[in-house]
Amino acid sequence: MSQIIKFILLILILPFHCFAKKFRFIDFKRDTININHKYVDLNNTDYYGDKLRAFGSDENHHSKIVNFRISDNPAIIHRCNDTLMDVDSNNQDEYLCYYHDTINLTKLLFKNSNGVTSNVRIALRFTGHNYTFSFQDKSYLLLMAEDRRFYRNVLVSYMVLLEVKDESIVHGYAFADTPEDNTSEQTPNCFGDFNKDGILDFLDWRKMESKISMFSLKDGAFVRNTENYIIVEPSKKQRRYMENYDDQFNFENINRKKSKWFYKL
């Protein structure tokens, strides 16, 4: 009788062991970072959306540098061209001003920390989602931005991370994603101390990527951890969808056999 019960229990439990583990950031949090969110309505900020054109200038309008206030507290200004890639413009680069300190956004985004390549000049608009958090007695400001060139086939979403102290920028970092639907999966949840070593980490979970890499902040730069990674695959439902549609999405099933992480997945 006991053997029959064991057999029944095995039949009931076995399917659950066969289910693929889904990727969830909450499962990888090993040190919680308290992130504060502030949203600024940029539609009412000097006509932010209207004045940033998505196309080049015409013969009646030449590009000029404009300043848009992203936040009052802290004081943040986006300094950029009001049109795209005007050859008559004296300054093609874009800048971010934090109080009285300035950082070159064009160079920062072009050399983004997670290595997303770009063959065109960068032109963006901030979405108004600003975050602040502290880690190891350092203060960080995280700004969400997106490509404003509507004619591009693949848009790019960005996260701009600034280490700040008082009213100065200590370091600047950028992370990029290339979602076809312009909804990036890179969020503040990507930051944490995932291996509990006291160093700020970034999990690079991007659409259509089969490997989730971790970058750690060392000596003023985010460095890829080449020894530890998570391999993800599309689910059966995602595979069926891919056969009929071209939409991009994040693979959600973890391949526990091929992954090499700090703890058992």
For residue range 126-178, what is the model confidence (pLDDT) as tens digits? 888 899 999 999 999 999 988 876 555 556 788 999 999 999 999 999 998 76
Region 213-232: mean pLDDT is 94
Instruction: Check if the beta carbon of residue 243 is closer than 8 Å to that of residue 236.
Output: no
Answer whether residue 195 shows pLDDT above 60. Answer: yes
Q: Which amino acid is at 139?
A: S
Segment 74-96 shows an average pLDDT of: 74
Task: Copy the structure tokens of residue 140.
Answer: 């960080």
- pLDDT > 60? residue 99: yes
Longest dimension (CA), the chain: 90
Cα dihedral 105/107/109/111 (nearest 10): -160
Q: Among residues 120, 41, 59, which one has the least CA distance to residue 85?
A: 120
Cβ atoms within 10 Å, residue 183: 13
Q: What is the pLDDT, as a whole number, of residue 228?
A: 93
**Rounded-to-10 torsion of CA 163, 165, 166, 168:** -70
**Comparing C-alpha atoms, which of 18, 67, 17, 71 is closest to residue 42?**
71
User: Looking at per-residue confidence, does 116 or 192 come out higher?
Assistant: 192
**Percent of the chain predicted with pLDDT > 90:** 34
Q: What six digits make up the tokens of 85?
A: 């890639």
> pLDDT-based confidence at 124, cuts 50/70/90?
confident
Confidence of residue 13 (pLDDT cuts 50, 70, 90): very low
- At 131, list the tokens: 């975050």
Between 9-18, 24-33, 160-169, the lowest mean confidence (pLDDT) is in: 9-18
The pLDDT score that the predictor gives to residue 111 is 86
Neighbouring residues of 233: CB distance < 8 A, sequence distance ≥ 6: 20, 210, 251, 253, 254, 255
Q: Residue 16: what pLDDT?
A: 40
pLDDT at 31: 65
CB of 47 closer than 8 Å to CB of 66: no
- Using pLDDT thresholds of 50, 70 and 90, give the confidence band for residue 18: very low
pLDDT of amino acid 255: 94
Residue 233: what pLDDT?
Answer: 92
Say if residues 76 and 46 touch (Cβ distance below 8 Å): no
Cα distances (Å, whole numbers) of residue 10 to 3, 4, 13, 17: 10, 10, 5, 10
Per the prediction, the chain carries an average pLDDT of: 80
CA pair distance 56, 183, nearest whole angstrom: 25
Q: What does the pLDDT average to over 13-19?
A: 44
Closest-CA residue to 200 (of 136, 141, 262):
136
Handedness of CA 7, 8, 11, 17 (dihedral sign): negative
Q: What is the mean pLDDT of residues 6-20?
A: 47
Q: Pick the more confident residue, 143 or 85.
A: 143
With cut-offs at 50, 70 and 90, classify the pLDDT of residue 11: very low
**Residue type for position 96:** L
Question: Who has greater pLDDT, 63 or 132?
Answer: 132
Work out the number of other CB atoms within 10 angstroms of the CB of residue 112. 21
Which helix (H) or strand (E) covers residue 242, if one does? helix 236-242
Distance in Å from the first CA to the final CA of the chain: 36
What is the distance between the alpha carbons of residues 48 and 30, in angstroms, rounded to a whole number? 39
Cα 118 to Cα 111: distance, rounded to the nearest angstrom = 9
For residues 179-190, average pLDDT: 66
Answer with the residue of higher pLDDT: 92 or 181. 92
Sign of the Cα torsion 187, 158, 46, 171 reads positive
